[in-house]
Structure 1
Amino acid sequence: MKSLLFVLLAAFSVAAQAVTLDDLQQRFSQVPVLRAEFAQQRTISGMAQPLNSGGNLLIAQKQGLWWQQEKPFPLTLLLTETRMVQIMAGQQPQVITASNNPQMFQFNSLLSALFHADRRVLEENFTLDFADKGQGAWTLVLVPKVSPLNRLFRRITLNGETFLNKIDIDDMQGDATHIRFFNQKTTPAELTDAEKRHFAS
């Protein structure tokens, strides 16, 4: 379950005036498609060197999230309203639905709420600390207040300006994950044929 939360992101477009969480939710709804690259670093207790990975992601408002890790090995995660699918090279896809794993599938709704900045759902699961940093920059700190999130994570911190630029995840075991997003693009506003196939697979 922890690894699924590493893919939480949002395309939050902001203006130059003071930014609020409601602004982020409203402005995200106006971005039908976001494409970006990511670089992830995980620091794990007991390991001398951090684990680094990177790849591409696609968020389509109507279809869901497609997360493609390219290095150090290929890994695909697909998240839609009805299923979560993880695909690793040489292995059968792992499919999670509401019927075959109800508890895990609850994370599906939570993940959707996170990358849509759904304030109502976020407030049900986290204590929120939103800060306007000026000139369009913002920070949102999420402290879990319900189980099992509060047994897994100390906090999740999101930082952004025009887009979500960084996620920092601190867990209860003392491990940390830092994800940076860059080269964000919102055009074309429609999915290409190749991108549509990601969600049809």
Structure 2
Amino acid sequence: MAAFLLAGAAAPAPAAESWGLEDLFARFARVPSSNARFTETRELGLLTAPLESSGTLTYRRPDFLEKRTLQPQPESLRLDGDRLTLTQADGASRTLSVSAMPEIQTYVESIRATLRGDVPTLMRFYEVALEGTLQDWRMQLTPRAEEARQTVQRIVIAGRDAAIRRIEVLQADGDRSIMTIQPDPA
């Protein structure tokens, strides 16, 4: 983008805003909480049609996340510290320790470390490639641990400023999910 002087001569283009992973994560670190709506499409090799779901997402610093699926049936996935609790439509609930299951911990940290603005944790679990601009960025995460790569091939998180707008997970078996996220207007 070049600026033009009144005389019509071209002036040097202003330097593009310098930014990178540290800058982006510093912005995430300043967000105390957020609420959003999501739509998720899961493509599974065993099914002929994708599975669709929608609901709400809640985040509170430093490590509370909740995904409430409203359609096609209610269920919730709640992460509070090291505890991950899945509650199904019939009310049945199951709780597990995230740190006791490395493949789940790797996935959880892709989202939690990003929302917390925690670069060291993200780098411990993933090789990270960031591209784009602050207003339209894309971060590709490749698990470092072999056991995690047996489950998740890569995760691509995209967003605008300190807001995640899309999460794509490509599993090692070829299944994938795409979650589109819209901020809650409230």
Higher strand share: 2
Give CA-to-partner distance per residue, 1:48-89, whole Å, 9 cap, x none. Answer: 211000000110114611110001111111111141111112
Aligned length: 168
Distance 1:112 1:63 in 2: 7
Question: Could you say what secondary structure the match of 1:49 adopts?
Answer: coil
Change in Cα spacing, 1:125 to 1:135, as seen in structure 2 (3 Å) is closer
Change in Cα spacing, 1:75 to 1:33, as seen in structure 2 (3 Å) is same
Distance 1:156 1:53 in 2: 19
Q: Does 1:126 align with 2:165?
A: no
TM-score (norm 2): 0.80
The equivalent of 1:3 in structure 2 is none
1:45-194 to 2 correspondences below 5 Å: 45-62=45-62, 64-97=64-97, 102-103=100-101, 107=105, 110=109, 111-131=111-131, 133-134=132-133, 136-162=135-161, 163-184=163-184
Give CA-to-partner distance per residue, 1:139-194, whole Å, 9 cap, x none. Answer: 10001120321111111001111311101111111111000001345x6xxxxxxx
The equivalent of 2:21 in structure 1 is 21
**Identity percentage over the alignment?**
21
Distance 1:62 1:120 in 2: 15
Asked whether the 8 Å contact 1:126–1:143 carries over to 2, the reply is: yes
The structure that has the greater radius of gyration is 2
The RMSD of aligned alpha carbons is 2.4
Q: Which has the higher contact order (CA 8 A, sep 6+)?
A: 1
Deviation at 1:106, TM superposition (A): 7.0
Which ranges of structure 1 fall in alignment gaps of 5 or more residues? Answer: 1-15, 188-201
Distance 1:148 1:105 in 2: 7
- Counterpart of 2:75, as a letter, is L
Distance 2:31 2:125 in 1: 25
Asked whether the 8 Å contact 1:127–1:143 carries over to 2, the reply is: yes
Question: Could you say what secondary structure the match of 1:148 adopts?
Answer: helix
Asked whether the 8 Å contact 2:102–2:148 carries over to 1, the reply is: no
Deviation at 1:18, TM superposition (A): 3.9
- Counterpart of 1:102, as a letter, is A
Distance 2:136 2:155 in 1: 17
Distance 1:60 1:66 in 2: 9
Which ranges of structure 2 fall in alignment gaps of 5 or more residues? Answer: 1-15
Deviation at 1:125, TM superposition (A): 1.7
TM-score (norm 1): 0.74
